[in-house]
Amino acid sequence: MPALSARTRYRRFPPRRRLAGEGTAGWDTLREGDAYDLMSTLTPNSVDLILTSPPYWGHRTYDQQHNWTIIKEFAADPSSPPPYDAYRRKGGVLGLEPYPEWYVHHLVEILDLAKSSLKADGSMWINVGDTYFARWSSIRENGRQGLADHARARRRTPMGGYRQEKQLLLIPARFAIAMQDRRWILRNDLIWYKPNVPPRPENDRLRLAHEHFFHFVKRPTEGRARYYYNLTQVEHGATDVIICNVRPGDNGHSATFPPSVIRPRILTSSRPGGLVLDPFCGTGRALTVALDCGRRALGFEISKTFAAAARQALTSHSSINGSPTE
Ligand SMILES: C[S@@+](CC[C@H](N)C(=O)[O-])C[C@H]1O[C@@H](n2cnc3c(N)ncnc32)[C@H](O)[C@@H]1O
């Protein structure tokens, strides 16, 4: 079929009227706000794939104003985290919880809200990185943790139990186990090896050069989990280790998904035309890759700056590829 001119495309597929909260891209691909609130705007049983990289624990502020003394607002007990809503009402930001346990609890709580919107044969891919414990840790606005490239906040994190100086916290494992405890079935712990991670000042350990990408599916009320999966679209060798260099992010965002890491996840775990949701979409990389793969896309983003960048990416993308049909 010959390529349609922009004018003909506009006539045949006119953009529909914008909905409240809709992005400037002209169709409903971007909703600005807290994923915790926006999950309830999803139609039940409408999402084929949730693919995301939430803020990691203790890494970055992502433009958000955090209450650094929030621990005083609650009983200082890592094992009884306040619900996310109570925590944020006191000025708490996801990823900046005083204890890793609180972070895991909040992240699982938010992702669990997506369960009813995820189709029974849908998938959820979550990319989470780890953190070393330090009683005095530095949190970057947006840059890489521990490197002198951006403004940072210092905060004291209470020690105790496994929270000891120099400890690798195993946050991804704690998160995955908490998800299993909430009835999610873990199908893969994909290791993303990043050969080009920058040098670090420490001389008594190896550099962290991998991240986890967990594949979860819904546990049915009876029988074994059944979900859509197209094995022909995985990387060569079909193993659970992939290699991909990290690159500086787009539009000031330092944690942008490399397309080659997410494209195979989208192609294997959603049908053509299916809806891909990224509830922590940053500058919208997962959304544009999903559209490129012939899927529909929807992103949530709390930061005005990144939401604007995602809208911009979607607008440029649509002017190149045309608006996707719904
Ligand atoms: C690790 S980054 C995601 C980067 C993204 N994968 C990309 O390629 O650009 C996490 C994003 O989640 C956003 N975020 C943090 N807390 C949020 C919340 N409660 N609701 C929605 N977005 C949130 C941050 O502003 C940040 O852009």
What does the pLDDT look like over 26-74, one tens digit per residue? 457 999 999 999 999 999 999 999 999 999 998 888 888 898 888 889 8
H or E element: which one contains 288? helix 285-292
What does the pLDDT look like over 263-314, one tens digit per residue? 999 999 999 999 999 999 999 999 999 999 999 999 999 999 999 999 999 9
- Inside any domain, residue 216: yes
- Inside any domain, residue 17: no
Looking up residue 270, the CATH number of its domain turns out to be: 3.40.50.150
DSSP 324: P
Domain assignment of residue 220, given as a range: 27-321
Residue nearest atom 13 in ligand 1 by C-alpha distance = 280
Give the residues across from 128 on adjacent strands.
212
310, 281 Cβ separation under 8 angstroms = yes
Q: Say how many C-beta atoms besides its own lie within 10 A of residue 202's C-beta.
A: 11
How many domains would you assign to the chain?
1
The verdict on pTM exceeding 0.85 is yes
pLDDT average, residue stretch 175-193: 98
Q: How far is the CA of 274 from the centre of ligand 1 (A)?
A: 22
- Inside any domain, residue 263: yes
- Inside any domain, residue 129: yes
Q: Quick check: CB of 257 below 6 Å from ligand 1?
A: yes
**What does DSSP say about strands 296-301 and 275-278: parallel, antiparallel, or unpaired?**
parallel
Ligand 1 binding pocket mutation candidate from 211, 212, 301, 312 (most atoms within 8 A of CB): 301
